[in-house]
Amino acid sequence: GTAAAFDSEGHKANAGIWWYLDFARAHGKPLIVPEWGVAPGSTGGNTTGDNPVFVTKMFEVFQNAHSTSHLAGECYFDDAMGSGNVDSDLINGGNPRSAAEYLRLY
């Protein structure tokens, strides 16, 4: 995924992360993202792969929300590689490019 693809998806009504942030701001509410992560193991075309751009763009969303006091929290979902789920691991050697970007940003 590219930054342009992220932004395109992120602005989709009722589905995109930027849309949700705008909605929260418009209603005087904070944004909380209880679970996010890269998803190379996802099926059905809903996959990011080992994608440091996705990590960077999510960080940008969170920084943007924080800059106007609209970030209540976010949590990276670190799913073990080969677990049969999304394989979002950043801790145990999975997704090394995404893990390096996460460490650089956070």
Q: Read off the pLDDT of residues 46-69 as tens digits, 9 standing for 90 and up.
A: 667 899 999 999 999 999 999 999
CA 56 to chain centre: 8
- pLDDT category, 83, cuts 50, 70, 90? confident
Count CA within 13 A, CB hemisphere, residue 66.
9
Q: CA nearest 79: which of 33, 53, 42?
A: 42
Q: Which pTM does this prediction carry?
A: 0.90
- In angstroms, rounded to a whole number, what is the distance separating the alpha carbons of residues 47 and 61? 19
